[in-house]
Each structure stands twice: as structure tokens, then as C-alpha cells.
Structure 1
């Protein structure tokens, strides 16, 4: 039993090494996925060793995205579960934490943008549904924490989080111009060039939650 546990720990550590190497390479150019050979070299592993854990680079990055989503949703659940006081303050702390998470994980929304169109489309059915189930369970737990913290009907918290995600993703993609565009002098006069994503997201989320929940001062 001890040997088995140690072997499982070693496998998990190796898997984490692969994901860490993949993330390090992705940060160098977040508009493309690095090859498995490059990830193996970054992790100090043979290419064949990486294939023991992941069959494709898409599976590597789907696992990385799943890990990031788990971390974000766990943070949201924890924040709402521990929140007390007026609704306005509870929602404000959630939005502050959400925006701060995205700011400290600058690659997350770019990776998430690849999720639907590229990563998930290249996953085997069983792995695709494992990915979806893991996300659904974490999202439901976070939504239930919102329901309890804000004393709202069951299911409303889940809806609030889903719409917040849609707002966040849409705003990010609207403002996600390539460097060649942002570096062009002609872009400087474009209205979107003057919008700061973090500031705009914080404002938009607060306005949405206020509108959705009505009077947050209760």
C-alpha cells in the first residue's frame, strides 16, 4: 500500500511537471500551443514519457485549463462561504477577488478562449465529459455558496456566475487585440484602445450584479 501511494505521488508530481512546463512555454506566446516535444524538453523529460500521461498537446492544455478553473471556482466558493455582512460588501469582495485572480493569471482567459474552439474539440469523448463534469461540479458548488451567502433562491447563484463568465469572456475577446494592432499608431485613436480591461470588468460586473439583485444594501 505504501509503495502504491508513493508511486501515485510520483505520477502526480510528474504530471504537474509536465503541466508546469506547458504553462511556461505558453506564457512565451499565448496565441499558439507549443509542441509536445518542446514541452518534454522544458520539463527535462523524454517525449515518450510525456505521451504516457497525455496523448496530445490539446490534452495537456485541457488539463491545465481544468486545473485553473478548479482553482478559480474553489476561490469563489471559499470567498462566498466565508463572507458576512451586507450584500453590497459580499458582492464587492467577490468581484475584487475575481478581477485580482484574472490579473494574476494573465494567461487564463487566453487559454479559456482556446477551450471551446480547439482544446475540447480535440479531446476523446470520455476525457471531454470528465472535463465537463469536473467543471460542472465545481461551478455548482460555487453557485450554491452564492445562494447561501446572498440568501437568494437555489440556482440563482449559478445563473449569476454563468452570466458573469459570459460578460467577462465577451469583454476580454472584444479587447484582445494582437500586439501588431496595438503597436500600430492608427490604433491609438480607436475607442477600444483607451479601455482598461481590469477597470472595465470591475465596473461592468458590479453594475450587472446590482441590476440582477436589486438593492444590495440589505
Structure 2
């Protein structure tokens, strides 16, 4: 018999356990959203317990995405708050390590953008965006200690590069066929290298004072 979590600490631990189980199932079967019953089994909980924390599997996977985003912002803030001057290489190092540590981030981020538009209630989607933009603005403020020209727009453009390049470069049967038939350049396999090259151009352009 399961013991119901009653205090905030226990509730948060159970919520995190549900997210952990769902993320592991996603990594095992990235081609589909696992159903709530499978997630409950993986977390060692009853299906009804999962619904106490998330109203749908779509909201649950949005919760994983929000946790990823929070971790990224936290890492960026931690580095930016250090007294040691921050370089673009330091900035990109945070990006690189995050993407290596959380392989589910890119596919799940892409999926969640669709969920926000079609399957997440508007009030839930707005609350998610509100929390995300609050954290984004906090990161912008601390990054300005090192890069005064940092703006919300620059961070959003960087995020667009994260997702856009991944969608163009991620391995698929179609892309393999395109390479075989010389329709797609086979030299573009290194996503991280391409990302850092694009980010370098973006940030150097944004940080270079305009000459009038």
C-alpha cells in the first residue's frame, strides 16, 4: 500500500521521481510519449497518484522540459556570478556540457513547442512561459556583468539556433538517404561544432559596437 505524500518535501520528491521515470522512458522510446500507466509503473506508483501531480502526460513532459530549462539557466547563472571574467568560450562550454548531460533536452524541447500550441491548456502554457521568461531575464542580468550588450532577444536567438540546427542535423532515415545520393553534405554531422560556430558568429556580431 502506498503512503500518500503530505508534506511539501515529500510531495516534491515524489514529483521528481515521476519526472525521472518519464524521462528515462522517453530516452528509451523517443519515438513516442509514454502513457501515464507506464510512467506510474516505472516510478513504482499507482496511475492515480501520477494524476495528483500532472493532469495529463503532456503536462508531465512539459514538466521535464521545464526542469531541463531550469537546470540550464541555473548553470549559466552560477558561472556568470563568479568573479572570474567570463569569455565566449566559457559561455559555450556551459552550453556544450548541458547538452551532453541532458540528451533528452533537444528532442523534448522540440516536442513541447508543439504541445504548448495544441495540447496544453492556455493557462498552464502561459504560466510555464511566465516562469521561463522570469528565469531568462535573471540570466540576462547576470550575463551583462560580462557581456553588457546581452539582451533577451540575443538569448532567444541563441535558443533558436539550438533547436533549428538540431532539427536540420539530427539523424533520420531520410537524411541518410539524402547523404547517400549526395543531396546533403556529409560534412555536417558534428552538431556541437556547428552550433558553436553559429553561436560565435551571433554573439560576436551582437557584442561588437556598431560603427556609424
Match in the other structure for 2:128:
131
Q: Pick from 138, 141, 144: which aligns with 1:144? A: 141
Q: Secondary structure at the match of 1:191?
A: coil
Deviation at residue 8 of structure 1 after TM alignment: 1.4
Are the counterparts in 1 of residues 116 and 125 from structure 2 also a CA contact under 8 Å? no
Are the counterparts in 2 of residues 146 and 157 from structure 1 also a CA contact under 8 Å? no
Q: Secondary structure at the match of 1:193?
A: coil
Instruction: Within 5 Å, give how 1:101-120 maps onto structure 2.
Output: 101-119=98-116
Match in the other structure for 1:84:
84
Indicate how the Cα distance of structure 1 residues 91 and 186 shifts in structure 2: closer, same or farther if over 3 A, else same. closer
Are the counterparts in 1 of residues 40 and 46 from structure 2 also a CA contact under 8 Å? yes
Deviation at residue 137 of structure 1 after TM alignment: 0.6
More deviation in 169-178 or 121-130?
Answer: 121-130
Task: Please give the alpha-carbon distance, in whole angstroms, between the structure 2 residues aligned to 1:78 and 1:188.
Answer: 46
Match in the other structure for 1:30:
30
Are the counterparts in 2 of residues 59 and 119 from structure 1 also a CA contact under 8 Å? no
Using structure 1 for the length normalisation, give the TM-score: 0.85
| CA RMSD in angstroms, aligned pairs only | 2.2
Indicate how the Cα distance of structure 1 residues 83 and 167 shifts in structure 2: closer, same or farther if over 3 A, else same. farther
Q: Secondary structure at the match of 1:150?
A: coil
Indicate how the Cα distance of structure 1 residues 62 and 192 shifts in structure 2: closer, same or farther if over 3 A, else same. farther
Deviations, residues 139-191 of structure 1 (Å, cap 9, x unaligned): 00011112222233xxx43222111111121111111232x345659547453
Indicate how the Cα distance of structure 1 residues 182 and 104 shifts in structure 2: closer, same or farther if over 3 A, else same. farther
Match in the other structure for 1:193:
186
Is 1:161 aligned with 2:161?
Answer: no
Greater helix content: 1
Deviation at residue 125 of structure 1 after TM alignment: 2.7
Mind listing any 5+ residue stretches in structure 2 that lack a counterpart?
Answer: none
Are the counterparts in 2 of residues 182 and 188 from structure 1 also a CA contact under 8 Å? no
Task: Please give the alpha-carbon distance, in whole angstroms, between the structure 1 residues aligned to 2:22 and 2:142.
Answer: 32
Indicate how the Cα distance of structure 1 residues 83 and 192 shifts in structure 2: closer, same or farther if over 3 A, else same. farther
Task: Please give the alpha-carbon distance, in whole angstroms, between the structure 1 residues aligned to 2:142 and 2:180.
Answer: 42
Count of aligned residue pairs for this structure pair: 204
Task: Please give the alpha-carbon distance, in whole angstroms, between the structure 2 residues aligned to 1:34 and 1:58.
Answer: 10
Answer 1 or 2: higher relative contact order, Cα 8 Å, separation at least 6: 1
Indicate how the Cα distance of structure 1 residues 50 and 92 shifts in structure 2: closer, same or farther if over 3 A, else same. same
